[in-house]
Structure 1
């Protein structure tokens, strides 16, 4: 399944490394990354693919990323791409 991972917060060293490590450790492949930093605020959207042999289910991965984000002062969310598309269509 494809996922949309969003990261928002104050810029600091190690954001990309931390998030990509969590994904790699759980066999989630990053397909695309778009990031920018505006006036000290970090914003990134990743498209990733979670295969059937991923170590965690989506709900578990969402909790791991949320907890890691809280440790770093970031808002990190992972959503199934279909859900993301439905909630962001106007």
Structure 2
């Protein structure tokens, strides 16, 4: 199962490390990653493969949301199918 993870907020040290370390802990593979910083604002989008995750989608999504709150950023997780439906023209 592929998912789209987005991270938005004020830039600070450790955002990428914290998110990537958690994904590794639960066996989620990063397939593609893009990140930019514009005017001090951090934006990251990741496509991940959660097929072999040790946690179900709801659990790792909630945990990433908690990590985001700790870092002062917003982290969202969407299943690839939902993301594609929402962004279809």
Q: TM-score range by the shorter chain?
A: over 0.9
Aligned equivalent of 2:8? 8
Residues matched between the structures, number: 89
Aligned equivalent of 1:60? 59
Q: Secondary structure at the match of 1:23?
A: helix
Aligned equivalents of 2:87, 2:62: Cα separation in 1: 22
CA RMSD of aligned residues (A): 0.8
The Cα shift of 1:54 comes to: 1.4
The Cα shift of 1:87 comes to: 1.0
Q: TM-score with structure 1 length normalisation?
A: 0.95
The Cα shift of 1:55 comes to: 1.1
**Alignment of 1:17 onto 2:37:** no
Aligned equivalents of 1:74, 1:29: Cα separation in 2: 22
The Cα shift of 1:56 comes to: 0.4
Runs of 4 or more consecutive aligned structure 1 residues displaced over 4 Å after TM superposition: none
Aligned equivalents of 2:87, 2:7: Cα separation in 1: 16
Q: TM-score with structure 2 length normalisation?
A: 0.96
The Cα shift of 1:89 comes to: 2.0
Aligned equivalents of 2:86, 2:47: Cα separation in 1: 16
Q: Secondary structure at the match of 2:48?
A: strand
